Amino acid sequence: MSGNEAIARGAYEAGVILASAYPGTPSTEILENIGQHYPEIRAGWAPNEKVALEVASGGSYGGARSIAVMKHVGLNVAADPFMTLSYTGVNGGLVIVVCDDPEMHSSQNEQDTRHYARFGKAPCLEPSDSQEAKDMMAVALKMSEDFDTPVILRSSTRVSHSMSPVELGKRTSGPRELGLKKDFTKNVMLPAFARRRHPVVEQRLKDLAEFAETFPYNKIMMGDESIGIISAGIAYQYAREAMPDASFLKLGMTWPLPKKLIEEFASKVKRLVVIEELDPITEENVRLMGIKVEGKELTGLCGELSPEKVEAALMGSSSAKPAAAIQMELPLRPPNMCPGCPHRATFSALKKNKVYVSGDIGCYTLGALPPMGMLDHCLCMGAGIGIASGLDRALGDLAKGKAVAVIGDSTFFHSGMTPLLDLAYNGGSTTVIIMDNRTTAMTGAQPHPGTGYTLREDPTTSVDVEKLAESFGFRRIRTVNPYLVIELEKVVKEELEAAEPSLIIARAPCALLKADRILPDKPLRIKEDVCKGCKTCINTGCPALEFVKLEKKIEGDKRKGYSRINEALCVGCRTCMELCKFDAIEEAS
């Protein structure tokens, strides 16, 4: 099993009743597996991670073992309920599965979830392979119930997506009786009650630190006493592979740390090194214990580790190259939007207007890359609308008709509704484009509140974005087919000139959603003798288009080359045909 499959299996075996999540790499497959294989668990996609954690918390308060699943930046969104959950505690076990993404394979930062465990005064468990990922789910749920606390189960890209053998077990039941139980002094965090809970939280953290000393996944494995390595998660696997004969303190619980166990281990080795990905959290806390230790000065702060990097760090080799240098030696293969992607058509329309485009996280973030080059800012989920509105309100005429926000439909439901409401409420002249491709495309086409389907493909309500925006107070709402690029160009120009906030919904299904395709599926071809070689079509960045240089000059032909369409890749979206001024593109015969 992959680590994510194992986490899903662990939830099933441990008697989890409720699971909620928002998709995000590298965590997405956990809820997908629950939805596909474990009908005993009531599972569903939430609009965002905050809602997912609140839903799981509700299940826990009712006595049900519950989990919320998200990627590392999702915990930022869920931080508000998380921080106070430490005060209220739980009833049924509550586990927050958070998957970090060292090296930022599909993320905008490399934040380390262990900071949240420390900040929120909650325990953090960290599996190093799929078997531990499964088994630690049951351990985390029991800890949650025993210590009356939410528990973080931290994975990472390599643990989540790597596969290793897993021994399966049978499903069990949680120990708590299901039902509604009132306890307002524990669950209603008015200041007077919260003050009483804070000392409880601090005492619990001390109790958890004592528990960590005998936690079975924290264990000393003595080998060569000349070097002792403290490590956890996938970093432990790398260190073990690089230095199989070394002594190890393997941590399965990375917060709070077992002080006595660390002191005992340190006393047995001549040289102590912490090998951990991302931030030096363990290293700094070991140093605070008064123990001499090495760490990030050997491995560096940025990116993910590997057995080769760990070996080079521990052996003092100068031949190991940093990750950036290794990447530079590889052929550059920039990510690209798929052939026929409706987002490409929308950016093509925007390109005709000299606008500043602020956006969000999604497939459309790739619009920042050449040759499109039409995304100027991307901060986090839902920020694009607020940034464009802020530019408009702060700069006035300098930004009028130039500040545009683009946001995907799933991202809009995640965290775009409130900034859209702010725009309607506070006014201005910002134009917002919802790039509605009817799915959560970047993480694998998961459903969302606008698709009309749930996690398990049951039909449900579908949000009417036009009516929603109208209820916010928008008077200028336009819905267009982005493949009609010329029409969209006209609509964009008109809305940029408006003196009030406006909303454009560029709606066409993701090109990969075969069932909902509105494309004709007939590839196009370029008439080589008609093509002027202007590269207007090439500059859309479509992978199906290529430019052929003329090897020999033809008398009277001033072209340097001509465009050509790879019919094996073309899906017939007609974006290039719409943009071509010379009628050089036609349907392939």
Q: Token pair of 372, please?
A: 């499109």
pLDDT of res. 322: 41
pLDDT of res. 352: 83
- By the 8 A CB rule, do 126 and 105 touch? no
Average pLDDT of every residue of the chain: 92
DSSP code, position 453: B
- By the 8 A CB rule, do 437 and 510 touch? yes
- By the 8 A CB rule, do 411 and 380 touch? no
Assign 3-class secondary structure to 251-308.
ECEEECCCHHHHHHHHHHCCCEEEECCCCCHHHHHHHHCCCCCECHHHHCCCCCCCHH
pLDDT of res. 514: 63
pLDDT of res. 521: 67
Where in 58-131 does DSSP place strands (E)?
66-71, 94-100, 124-125
- CA dist., res. 95 & res. 149, Å (int): 9
- By the 8 A CB rule, do 433 and 407 touch? yes
For strand 151-156 and strand 224-232, is the pairing parallel, antiparallel, or unpaired? unpaired
pLDDT of res. 559: 87
- By the 8 A CB rule, do 282 and 251 touch? yes
| Span(s) in the chain for CATH 3.40.50.920 | 219-316
The answer to whether residue 478 scores a pLDDT higher than 90 is: yes
Contacts 24+ apart (CB under 8 A), 232-235: 232/126, 232/128, 232/276, 232/282, 233/126, 233/127, 233/128, 233/154, 233/155, 233/156, 233/159, 233/277, 234/128, 234/156, 234/158, 234/159, 234/162, 234/277, 234/305, 235/275, 235/276, 235/277, 235/305, 235/310
pLDDT of res. 336: 85
| Span(s) in the chain for CATH 3.30.70 | 524-587
- Residue 245's CB is within 10 A of a number of other CB atoms, namely 8
Q: Assess if CATH 3.40.50.920 describes domain 219-316.
A: yes
Cβ burial of 523 (10 Å; 0-12, 13-18, 19+) is: middle
Share of the chain above pLDDT 70, in %: 96
Report the range of poorest mean pLDDT among 167-181, 308-322, 457-471: 308-322
Radius of gyration of the chain (CA): 27
Q: Token pair of 139, please?
A: 């351990």
Helix (H, G, I), strand (E, B) or coil at 22: coil
**Angle, helix 342-350 to helix 485-496, in steps of 10 degrees:** 50
- Per residue in 59-78, pLDDT (tens digit) is 999 999 999 999 999 999 99
- Per residue in 371-423, pLDDT (tens digit) is 888 999 999 998 999 999 999 988 988 887 788 999 999 999 999 999 999 99
Q: Put the strands of the sheet holding 219-221 in their side by side order.
A: 219-221, 246-251, 224-232, 272-275
Q: Token pair of 89, please?
A: 């505690």
Q: Count CA atoms closer than 13 A to 317's CA, side-chain side.
A: 13
DSSP code, position 441: T
Report the range of poorest mean pLDDT among 350-354, 487-491, 578-582: 350-354
pLDDT of res. 22: 96
Mean pLDDT across the stretch 297-307?
93
Burial annotation 565-583 (CB, 10 A radius, 16+ → b, else e): beeeebbbbbbbbbbbeee
| Span(s) in the chain for CATH 3.40.50.970 | 3-210, 342-516
- CA dist., res. 289 & res. 291, Å (int): 6
What Å distances lie between residue 174 and 92, 94, 125, CA to CA? Answer: 7, 11, 20
- Per residue in 286-299, pLDDT (tens digit) is 999 999 999 999 99
- By the 8 A CB rule, do 119 and 128 touch? no
- Per residue in 210-269, pLDDT (tens digit) is 999 999 999 999 999 999 999 999 999 999 999 999 999 999 999 999 999 999 999 999
Q: Count CA atoms closer than 13 A to 83's CA, side-chain side.
A: 8
pLDDT of res. 80: 96
Which fold is adopted by the domain 3-210? Rossmann fold (3.40.50)
- CA dist., res. 285 & res. 259, Å (int): 9
pLDDT of res. 334: 73
The answer to whether residue 326 scores a pLDDT higher than 60 is: no
- CA dist., res. 24 & res. 7, Å (int): 15
Nearest CA among 42, 36, 40 for reference residue 13: 40
Mean pLDDT across the stretch 291-309?
94
Confidence bin at 139 (pLDDT 50/70/90): very high
CATH of domain 524-587: 3.30.70
The secondary element (H helix, E strand) that includes residue 460 is none
What Å distances lie between residue 570 and 130, 365, 518, 522, CA to CA? Answer: 40, 22, 14, 8
pLDDT of res. 324: 42
CATH of domain 342-516: 3.40.50.970
Confidence bin at 520 (pLDDT 50/70/90): low
Give the position of tokens 């090296």.
103
The answer to whether residue 327 scores a pLDDT higher than 70 is: no
pLDDT of res. 325: 42
Q: Token pair of 497, please?
A: 């000139």
Confidence bin at 321 (pLDDT 50/70/90): very low
- Per residue in 524-566, pLDDT (tens digit) is 999 999 999 999 999 999 999 999 998 877 777 788 899 999 9
- CA dist., res. 571 & res. 340, Å (int): 6
